[in-house]
Amino acid sequence: MGTEKNTDSKSISNIQGKRKMLPSVDELCKGIFKGDKVALARAITLVESTQIENLKKADTIIEKCLGQSTDSIRIGITGVPGVGKSTFIESFGKQLTSLGSKVAVLAVDPTSSETKGSILGDKTRMQELVKDPNAFIRPSPSGVSLGGVTRKTRESIILCEAAGYDIILIETVGVGQSETAVHSMVDFFLLLKLPGAGDELQGIKRGIIEMADAIVINKADGDTVKKAKLAEVEFTRALQLYPPKENGWLPKVLSCSALENRGLNDVRTMIFDYVTKHKKSNFFQLKRQQQNKNWLLQTLDDQLKFRFYQDVTVKAELENMIQEVVNNKISPFKAAEKLLSIHKN
Amino acid sequence: MGTEKNTDSKSISNIQGKRKMLPSVDELCKGIFKGDKVALARAITLVESTQIENLKKADTIIEKCLGQSTDSIRIGITGVPGVGKSTFIESFGKQLTSLGSKVAVLAVDPTSSETKGSILGDKTRMQELVKDPNAFIRPSPSGVSLGGVTRKTRESIILCEAAGYDIILIETVGVGQSETAVHSMVDFFLLLKLPGAGDELQGIKRGIIEMADAIVINKADGDTVKKAKLAEVEFTRALQLYPPKENGWLPKVLSCSALENRGLNDVRTMIFDYVTKHKKSNFFQLKRQQQNKNWLLQTLDDQLKFRFYQDVTVKAELENMIQEVVNNKISPFKAAEKLLSIHKN
């Protein structure tokens, strides 16, 4: 994927040189619909680009891919660093492909802009899955804000689905708002935990528990099998304290060993049961529709801000207004009014 | 304050009837500058109004009040329900007025819209302070969003300061984003805690500890004096684990009994020391300037959204676009583009 990234370079000769080699939007779409991984990767690179020309192409591709009706399951996977997300995804992904699914793995990584891709960046962590012809792994884009990452991940999901991937795994680390972002784009949200030492209920963000459709205790292997069982009981008890979800689903607690490949069958069965049940009740479809709506509203908010702060007349006056506000010469509200009045759409 | 609220009524005869009785903007400003509590309360009611005409008057008053240079200290006070915030503010406020300060008490209450004013609403909880001629207590406005409450509280601070109040206490409960909101408008942020039973470090949101300039363990009276001392040691140790604040301040831990009026001298001395030190280093002034700037940026964000969603052309098309997005007929981004293109400032 390194070559596509270069289209973001500002050197014109470079871009023009590459352009001849790059497939057209139509060619990319055809490739995606055929399930061609290279076309898919290139389309995602366009989505992740910061060049307006590339983004326009990406928009056209997204429009065409939206038209494809697919039957996918989007699964969010979160957990603190060290919980074994990569190993889990490797084992779980391989199980799914062995049963005939096509699996795409994406990531929302709020830390990537600082650490240059801390999750999924190192593909060697998923050595088996990366070689699997029915798996597609895409590291998180780096150097963009969380809002940007969210949009790009959502669009990458559309592309992967159009390419025939029917299970989309979206990994995130438990930092900042990334879990909320991932939760807002998946059908099923899975929280990975370690078998703790009596403190199973500590150090867990209240909001995360409420978001989880299931808690899976990983690394239930060797000496920790017993601990994991204890943790299962504690979490199950703790989850009963929460009000039931709007869909009536009672979040499940399971344990597994991704390393030893045990317990993953149960995880898969649980998720598939969830999907079957909620497709029947229509909740599955309604949730996706609500997510689409929220995505529109979020895009509107983002774009309103972007257009305002990019406006040259606003840019020219903003610093002056900030100074007046800072020095109590004008109230923030009056200053905002002035800036808004000079803003042209 | 009940009478002013009625100006929000939609009955024209009613408004016109009242209008004759209401003082002009100039009269209100004069009253405020003289320290007249009735004028101050009326001006705050204008700030809290939902009527555009009233808000315009409020803006004019705010502008005039901003011009008054004052020498105030803004103190945020937070803590879980039951920690004794009211008793603390009552005792602390009375100590301050007895030493010659004029004290205003405001509240940011994210729960007020549901519970119709859960904090400060019941003035009987501050029976002494409410009768004090040098104290002004204003319950939190109800029925407005957190963003709205934040703005209204910020503007109320300006009004109180123009009326000569030199200590502004802003109370909040530890719900949602209210602490962040209060933290963003004060010079000193104080976290009240109870003497716990060995679990002093649990149940405390990490973000709150990082925001606190001091932790004060309240209800250090009777049997719990020893517990409070233990909690003091634990918190002091815990605070050492955090990186130092940008101003070099090491958050302090104290204990007090607001009920028995003990330990409040130390709290006051600590806050005044903080202010003296950071005025000397200019940090105090810089922090206020940064807060003003942030307030402008937040107002811009709020107003951009408000104007967009109030736009009749947008209103007419929004539902249609939502439906198309929900049904995957158009991508959220394209839909957002369409809506933004029809939006007129």
pLDDT tens for each residue of B102-131? 999 998 766 544 444 445 555 557 888 989
Residues of B in contact with A336 (CB under 8 A): 296, 299-300, 303
Contacts 24+ apart (CB under 8 A), B330-335: B330/A63, B330/A66, B331/A59, B331/A62, B331/A63, B331/A66, B331/A155, B331/A158, B332/A154, B332/A292, B332/A295, B332/A296, B332/A298, B332/A299, B333/A59, B333/A62, B333/A151, B333/A155, B333/A299, B334/A59, B334/A63, B335/A296, B335/A299
Alpha-carbon distance of A197 to A219, in angstroms, equals 13
**Pick from A126, A113, A209: nearest CA to A171:** A126
Residues of A in contact with B301 (CB under 8 A): 305
Say whether A9 sits in a helix, a strand or coil: coil
Q: Are A189 and A213 in contact (CB under 8 A)?
A: yes
Query: Rounded to two decimals, what is the model's pTM?
Result: 0.69
Pick A332's closest partner by Cβ from B299, B304, B341: B299
Q: Which residues of chain A form CATH 1.20.5.170?
A: 19-67
Q: Are A214 and A254 in contact (CB under 8 A)?
A: yes
Q: What H or E segment, with its residue span, contains residue A127?
A: helix A127-131
Alpha-carbon distance of B310 to B27, in angstroms, equals 33
| Per-residue confidence (pLDDT) for residue B10, from 0 to 100 | 43
| Per-residue confidence (pLDDT) for residue B167, from 0 to 100 | 98
| Per-residue confidence (pLDDT) for residue A238, from 0 to 100 | 78
Residues of A in contact with B308 (CB under 8 A): 300, 304
Looking at every residue in chain A, the average pLDDT score rounds to 83
Task: Spell out, as residue ranges, where chain A has pLDDT lower than 50.
Answer: 1-19, 112-118, 197-200
CA B258 to chain centre: 21
Alpha-carbon distance of B186 to B69, in angstroms, equals 17
Inter-chain contacts counted by CB atoms under 8 A, chains A and B: 119
Total count of residues recorded for chain B: 345
Longest CA pairwise span in chain B (Å): 68
**Pick from A274, A37, A84: nearest CA to A194:** A84
In CATH terms, A19-67 corresponds, of 1.10.287.110, 1.20.5.170, 3.20.20.220, 1.10.3720.10, to: 1.20.5.170
| Per-residue confidence (pLDDT) for residue A147, from 0 to 100 | 55
Total count of residues recorded for chain A: 345
Angle, nearest 10°, between helix axes A283-310 and A264-280? 90
Could you give the angle at the alpha carbon of A37 between the alpha carbons of A34 and A41, nearest 5°? 120
A288 C-beta neighbours (distance < 10 Å), count: 17
Place of tokens 């979206």: A170
Place of tokens 């779980």: A92
Tokens found for residue A310: 């990019």
Alpha-carbon distance of A320 to A315, in angstroms, equals 10
Q: Are A325 and A170 in contact (CB under 8 A)?
A: no
Interchain CB contact of B55 with A (< 8 Å): no
Say whether A196 sits in a helix, a strand or coil: coil
| Per-residue confidence (pLDDT) for residue B302, from 0 to 100 | 86
Q: Which residues of chain B form CATH 3.40.50.300?
A: 69-281
Q: How confident is the model at residue B1 (pLDDT cuts 50, 70, 90)?
A: very low
User: Hey, which residues 184-203 in chain A have their CB within 8 Å of chain B?
Assistant: 202
Residues of B in contact with A332 (CB under 8 A): 154, 292, 295-296, 298-299
Alpha-carbon distance of A97 to A165, in angstroms, equals 10
Q: Report DSSP state, residue A343.
A: -
User: Hey, which residues 265-324 in chain B have their CB within 8 Å of chain A?
Assistant: 289-290, 292-293, 295-296, 298-301, 303-305, 307-308, 321-322
Over the stretch A62-72, which tens digit does the pLDDT of each residue have? 989 987 777 89
Alpha-carbon distance of A271 to A96, in angstroms, equals 12
Interchain CB contact of B103 with A (< 8 Å): no
Checking if the pLDDT of B98 tops 80, the result is yes
The more confidently predicted of residues B169 and A244 is B169
Alpha-carbon distance of A169 to A104, in angstroms, equals 6
Could you give the angle at the alpha carbon of B169 between the alpha carbons of B165 and B171, nearest 5°? 150
Alpha-carbon distance of B113 to A48, in angstroms, equals 42
Checking if the pLDDT of B196 tops 80, the result is no
User: Hey, which residues 131-160 in chain A have their CB within 8 Å of chain B?
Assistant: 151, 154-155, 158
For residue A60, which phi and psi values (nearest 5 degrees)?
-65, -40
Checking if the pLDDT of B249 tops 60, the result is yes
Alpha-carbon distance of B328 to A154, in angstroms, equals 13
Question: Cβ B331–A293 below 8 Å, yes or no?
Answer: no
Torsion of CA A202, A208, A214, A218, to 10 degrees: -50
Over the stretch A80-90, which tens digit does the pLDDT of each residue have? 778 888 899 99
CATH no. of B69-281: 3.40.50.300
Question: Cβ A292–B326 below 8 Å, yes or no?
Answer: yes
The ipTM assigned to this model is 0.75
Pick B345's closest partner by Cβ from A154, A202, A343: A343
| Per-residue confidence (pLDDT) for residue A13, from 0 to 100 | 41
Tokens found for residue A197: 């030492």
Mean pLDDT within B66-93: 89
Q: Are A301 and B147 in contact (CB under 8 A)?
A: no
**d(CA B124, nearest CA chain A) in Å:** 34
